[in-house]
Amino acid sequence: MIKELIIDSSANGATIALLQDKQLVELHKEQITNNYTVGDIYLGRIKKIMPSLNAAFVDVGYEKDAFLHYLDLGPQVQSLLKLTKQVRSGGYQSKLLDNFKLEADINKGGKISDILAKGQLIPVQIAKEPISTKGPRLSSDLSIAGRYVVLVPFSEVISISKKIKSNTERNRLRKVVESIKPKHFGVIIRTVSEGKGVQELQKDLLDLISKWETFITKLPAVEPAKKVLGEIGRTSTILRDILNPDFQHIYVNEQSMYEEVRSYIHEISPDLEGIVRLHKHKEPIFEHHGVDKQIKNTFGKTVNLAGGAYLVIEHTEALHVIDVNSGNRTANKENQEENAYQVNKEAAKEIARQLRLRDMGGIVVVDFIDMHKPTNRKELFDYLKAQMADDRAKHTILPPSKFGLIQITRQRVRPEMNIITSEVCPACNGTGTIRPTILLLDDIENNFNYILDEQNEKGISLCVHPYIEAYIKKGIYNRQMKWFVKYSQWIKVISNPAYQITEFHFLSAKGEEIKL
């Protein structure tokens, strides 16, 4: 599988397209003004305790208070509160936790009013970006993510990605991390750590420890509701999480972004530094690589599939609904079941892509074409799970219901990618109405009176839609002949299929457009 990353950088931020075998599978927008990215750590102030929800509303500087549930506090929230209080008062000087005494874990079934109080300060991390009318969702179970490992303060646990299957490799990674991790810090070992040496893991861990030290250094002086530690940019985050030897090229259209990306890759994976290329063509980078066309073809209510079938995607506040239609794909009565199975498989592949591409989260209900054989329904279910295996968002897929519906829940941490693919009609400018066609020739002849009589132009041409040209030239004594008699000069009529039905232009004898 060949992977490419196309980065379109502009003054407002960057748009990042991930291509697999030249097909667009992910699209991300990184805005410079976005201060509430997943992973950012803020010093929040408790605004309101809600016992009925077992949650609190927290001021992090957003226009709406952020939401912090008891289950998102983390088991060591008492240690976090204690450290925050001591660091801000000057009572704790160390930047690490070697000399810090941890508090007992909180009760999983406890009440938030026993832990937090109105006006209290607590460091919180953005778990979900603001979506629709809701403020950010928070967690106080802090973690700092790197390329190979994730650093978790107030813990001693070493967790290893379930995708690393080899017991020998799991034991090796555990021993390596145990030997280099600091006291009172837990570590999550990511999938990409498989096969990596001590030096690479240690460098990554030291970078994360340095970020923690930055957090501790800033904590005493930072004002409430302000950012303490920011996550790296969306571009770097994507590179950190998905960069692997499958990547063939990374194209960037702006010099400073190019240098930033090249520097970051040199830092995390020096052997791949050479794949970063600066786009130097005159045409826009997305147009040059065919991304614009794929965006126009992929987003929107209806998505066409290669075999003639199509998807209809509807969005509501609560869920997303996807309907699979066979379209103009026909089959004999004898193989209706096989035809439905093939269309459903084709649709399942595209649905997995659409979920990643649009970053659709929450509940997704898919109405596949009915199939009667249980084996076909089972195979479709397994095929959809296999297609969604590369999706980095947490998701759950339920088997088909008795009505042939498949339900999917998918993690939603940021607003859905929504791109308007329709364009304003050039004929009506979006009003839905055009001038009466019966008056078209009157308009043309009124302009003739001005151009030929008042401007005294000679040898002019009239450019119109092919339908209008055919109407003007129809018959022996047609409109063109009448104009010749009326104006004593022959007016050439030219058709242009790119024109709208009521569009017309006049050209001078030199071929230049006559401005009216």
Quick check: helix, strand or coil at residue 48? strand
Give the span between the Cα atoms of 320 and 424, in whole angstroms.
Answer: 26
Q: What is the mean pLDDT of each run of 10 residues along the chain (516 residues)?
A: 86 85 86 75 94 94 92 94 92 88 91 94 92 87 92 94 92 93 93 88 92 93 90 73 81 88 83 88 90 85 86 87 82 74 93 90 92 91 93 90 89 71 69 74 86 85 92 89 90 90 89 83
> Residue 419: its pLDDT value, please?
67
> Residue 466: its pLDDT value, please?
92
Sheet holding 149-153: strands in order across?
144-145, 149-153, 185-189, 158-160
> Residue 378: its pLDDT value, please?
93
Q: What phi, psi does 118 have (nearest 5°)?
A: -60, 135
Residue 88 CB contacts under 8 Å (≥ 6 apart), including other chains: 121, 219, 220
Which tokens is 305 given? 């599939």
CA atoms within 13 A on the CB side of 394: 3
Q: How far is CA 438 from the centre of its chain?
A: 48
> Residue 228: its pLDDT value, please?
92
Smallest CA-to-CA distance from 366 within 406, 421, 415, 418 is with 406
Are 77 and 148 contacting, i.e. CB atoms less than 8 angstroms apart?
no
Sheet holding 362-367: strands in order across?
302-304, 310-315, 319-325, 362-367, 405-410, 395-397
Burial of 239 (0-12, 13-18, 19+ CB in 10 A): buried
Residue 503 CB contacts under 8 Å (≥ 6 apart), including other chains: 427, 464, 465
Alpha helices (H) in 219-324, listed in sequence order: 234-242, 255-268, 285-288, 291-298
Are 129 and 42 contacting, i.e. CB atoms less than 8 angstroms apart?
no
145 bridge partner residues: 150
Are 480 and 491 contacting, i.e. CB atoms less than 8 angstroms apart?
yes
Residue 143 CB contacts under 8 Å (≥ 6 apart), including other chains: 125, 150, 151, 152, 188
Smallest CA-to-CA distance from 362 within 312, 315, 400, 295 is with 315
Are 462 and 494 contacting, i.e. CB atoms less than 8 angstroms apart?
yes
Give the span between the Cα atoms of 403 and 366, in whole angstroms.
Answer: 11
Give the span between the Cα atoms of 9 and 253, in whole angstroms.
Answer: 6
Q: What is the 3-state secondary structure (H, E, C) of 73-86?
A: CCCCHHHHHHHHHH
CA atoms within 13 A on the CB side of 2: 7
> Residue 397: its pLDDT value, please?
95
Count other C-beta atoms under 10 Å from residue 403's C-beta: 7
Alpha helices (H) in 24-182, listed in sequence order: 77-89, 167-180
